[in-house]
């Protein structure tokens, strides 16, 4: 028997932390990564029931998952989140920062308290999670930020939200370069109009129909569309993609 005939050792279990992992795109990412064989830490801030339901769905299918509450803008809570992941599953290989807030307003009418709350989650939270990911991800790992295609399309009333997500895009290549030599990738996915509760809330059927017709594919994206792209970017198959912002939006500008 040659060494080529010997059975290969099983690959070590990969572990993912998904912030905002209990609802919308974050939930779809949690479920997709679990289907791909990763143990998943499903982070949430307030909706414990949705987090528990997401974990139950994963474990019922034979996967591994646990819910962990943490406000992504709280550096101590996020450090504890990563501690739990390491204690329970042995390390962290994938971080998807899906937690975010959306508030729409013309800039002239913008409530600055709303701006501060949104930017606390979308900007400060992005930095807090990225900082822990940069410190903790194992070799071969990946960090994925979540932006929005509105950074490019610049729809009215999205000014504050787009500004917060532009910050996420701005740090993507910088962090990738800062992690030189670590064998860790950093990318950002920027979904277009996607049929989540966060997106649909407050929109009329006419507005939804108009937005659905914006991409050449003439439909809204689904959370599963985004999750499949996220799974590729954080997988070994996608490891040569690094420092990039990918607009997963069906072809809209």
**Residue 6 clears pLDDT 90, i.e. is over it:** no
pTM, two decimal places? 0.93
Least confident piece of the model among 25-39, 64-78, 195-209: 195-209
The CATH number of residue 31's host domain is 3.40.50.720
Which of these, 144, 126, 125, lies nearest to 184 by C-alpha position? 144
| Cα distance between the two ends of the chain | 57
The pLDDT tens digits for 154-166 are: 999 999 999 999 9
Residue 253 lies inside a defined structural domain of this protein: no
Choice among 44, 89, 161, 199 that is catalytic: 161
Percent of the chain with pLDDT over 70: 95
More confident residue, 196 or 138: 138
161 is catalytic: yes
Is residue 51 within 8 Å of residue 67, measured between CB atoms? yes
Domain extent, residue 82, equals 13-246
> Could you tell me how many helices (H) and strands (E) the chain has, helices first?
10, 7
Residue 47 lies inside a defined structural domain of this protein: yes
Structure tokens at 148: 């929005």
Residue 2 lies inside a defined structural domain of this protein: no
Residue 72 lies inside a defined structural domain of this protein: yes
Q: How many structural domains compose the chain? A: 1
């Amino acid at each position: 028997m040659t060494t080529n005939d010997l059975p290969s050792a099983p690959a070590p279990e990969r572990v993912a932390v998904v912030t905002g992992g209990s609802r919308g795109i974050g939930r779809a990412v949690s479920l997709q990564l679990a289907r791909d064989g990763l143990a998943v830490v499903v982070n949430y801030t307030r909706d414990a029931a949705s987090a528990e339901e997401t974990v139950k769905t994963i474990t019922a299918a034979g996967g591994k998952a646990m819910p962990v509450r943490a406000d992504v803008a709280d550096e101590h809570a996020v450090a504890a989140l990563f501690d739990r992941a390491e204690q329970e599953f042995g390390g962290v290989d994938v971080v998807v920062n899906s937690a975010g807030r959306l508030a729409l307003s013309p800039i002239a009418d913008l409530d600055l308290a709303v701006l501060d709350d949104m930017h606390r989650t979308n900007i400060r939270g992005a930095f807090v999670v990225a900082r822990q990911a940069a410190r903790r991800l194992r070799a071969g790992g990946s960090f994925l930020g979540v932006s929005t295609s509105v950074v490019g399309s610049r729809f009215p009333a999205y000014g504050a939200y787009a500004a917060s997500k532009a910050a996420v895009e701005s740090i993507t290549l910088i962090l990738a370069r800062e992690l030189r030599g670590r064998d860790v990738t950093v990318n950002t996915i920027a979904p277009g109009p996607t049929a989540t509760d966060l997106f649909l809330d407050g929109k009329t059927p006419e507005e939804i129909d108009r937005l659905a017709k914006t991409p050449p594919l003439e439909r809204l994206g689904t959370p599963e569309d985004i999750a499949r792209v996220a799974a590729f970017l954080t997988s070994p198959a996608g490891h040569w993609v690094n420092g990039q912002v990918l607009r997963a939006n069906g072809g809209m500008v």
